Amino acid sequence: MSTTVPAVLLPGLSGPQAIVLAAQIDAATASAPTLCQAGFSYPVAIEIARQCVVGTGDVERLVQCGIGGVLATAIKAAIDA
């Protein structure tokens, strides 16, 4: 199911990171290598990809990987949408 997550709803990310993350979440096929190429650290990329595959966002796990609380909440909402 396509949710079309606008990149502007992902606060605190650079343009390329926001665009790649939004596209990965929208396609529900998040790939850690693709997220790493966009500039995300390996732990963050792996956790985002894992959550996308499961289909449920988890703010606490995102924060533990080093994502700020506001961005983690936005990513969770996008994954859960």
CA distance 48 to 57: 8
Q: How many domains does the chain have?
A: 1
Residue whose token pair is 């966009």? 38
- Answer with the residue of higher pLDDT: 63 or 26: 63
Which of the four pLDDT bands, split at 50, 70 and 90, describes residue 1? very low
What confidence tens digit (pLDDT) does each residue in 7-62 have? 456 667 777 787 788 777 776 677 889 889 988 899 999 999 999 888 899 999 99
Domain with 62 in it: 7-80
Is there a domain that residue 73 lies in? Answer: yes
Is there a domain that residue 2 lies in? Answer: no
Report the predicted TM-score, pTM, of the whole model to 2 decimal places.
Answer: 0.78
Is there a domain that residue 45 lies in? Answer: yes
Is there a domain that residue 61 lies in? Answer: yes
Residue 76 above 80 pLDDT? yes
